Chain A
Amino acid sequence: MIKSELIQKVAGANPHLYQRDVERIVNVILDEIIASLARGDRVELRGFGAFTVKHRAARQGRNPRTGETVFVEEKFVPFFKTGKELRERLNRDHDSGD
């Protein structure tokens, strides 16, 4: 599923809204998540999962092709941890439940 399909599905469930409004809504939600992470906050959506930011310290790296040592600056990377309910739902149809 891609973003436009997600928008279509949400629009289908909300026939009183214009598709362009639904598009705006989906973008506001996604943008708010990114903006929060950029501020250093975390976003926890119970049952779905949590978005957090992890810090990666500066380190000496190596160019694998030339073997040359390079300095890698510190960076902040987004991380998603799947929520318990979603994790269980993904495996629901298998085995004997859970």
Chain B
Amino acid sequence: MSGKTLTRADLSEAVYQKVGLPRNESADLVETVLKEITGSLENGETVKLSSFGSFGIRQKGERIGRNPKTGEEVPITPRKVLVFRASNIMKSRINDGQGKK
């Protein structure tokens, strides 16, 4: 594994290189894409991106947790959590890529 961490800047760079838009516009587009996905999830919608994967919201009920330091029992409030399911295409590309190393 090369173990690098990519950020928004690297995604904008890819848009700049591959689509040929100016750098600042490429950065804005990356931001808009993330913002639209976030907005949709905030409304409780599932986001399905074919050949990538899907993001869904799961509602969790209240449960009793424990403060690991003090051992004290504390209620964990009901909440929504985001779950990501990778597409089979993503899974196989990752396995193939790693398999070559």
Contact = CB atoms under 8 A, between A and B. Distances in A.
Nearest to A24: B19
Contacts, number: 163
A49 B38 CA distance: 10
A6 B93 contact: no
Interface size class of B (residues with CB under 8 A): 35 or more
A78 B90 contact: yes
Contact of B48 (A2, A32, A40, A46): A2
Interface string A52-83: 01000000000000000000000111111010
Contact of A53 (B6, B10, B94): B94
Interface of B: 1-8, 10-11, 14-15, 18-19, 21, 26, 29-30, 32-34, 36-38, 40-42, 45-53, 55, 57, 77-82, 84, 86, 89-91, 93-98, 101
